Amino acid sequence: MEKSGFFNSSGGDRIYDAADFAAYFGSLVSNGIFYKTATNLQVSPGSGLGISVAAGTAWINGYRYENTDALNIPLTTASGSNPRIDRVVVRFSNVSRSIQIAVVDGTPATAPAAPALTRTSDVYELGIADVLVPTAATSIILNNITDTRLNTSLCGLVNSLVSAVYE
């Protein structure tokens, strides 16, 4: 099948949907976070056993995500026997037609590792932080958070075909 676009419709002969526009923009702009400010989608300690994700924007597979205010997210109760590493992600879901911040729980272990990112045709994740949840923890401190926003294999900055894109 051949496709081209985008042309004005004449009598309803040109119908485009979000996937058409996303494919177009996705071919021009890479996945990642916009780097307007250094705190864009930065993860910090929240209240209790929780984290806070700062306001900011990201781009995944031609779709834009925006968080307009600090987002507070509680973490799953800490293990009483081993630490774990949770991964904070910006998750694109084709099925739910949305992009949201999510926490992927790690597995408690004596030497914990962050969970792998999901990157399929249905779900695509950008890892913005790894959070060490110590054994029996009731709060998170800044030293427990590893910022992964600039790690190009996990997240990275949005780039165009020409140069970095600043929103």
Question: Per-residue pLDDT tens for 68-95?
Answer: 999 999 999 999 999 999 999 999 999 9
Structure tokens belonging to residue 155: 């997240």
Q: Do 74 and 88 touch, CB atoms closer than 8 A?
A: no
Residue 101 lies in a domain: yes
Residues of the chain with pLDDT under 50: none
Structural domain span for residue 26: 18-147
Structure tokens belonging to residue 131: 């959070």
Residue 71 lies in a domain: yes
pTM of the model: 0.86
Residue 1 lies in a domain: no
pLDDT at res. 7: 67
pLDDT at res. 40: 97
d(CA 36, CA 70): 16
Residue 103 lies in a domain: yes
CATH of the domain at 101: 2.60.520.10
pLDDT at res. 118: 98
At 40, give phi and psi (nearest 5°): -55, 115
> Taken in order 154, 102, 38, 131, is the CA torsion positive or negative?
negative
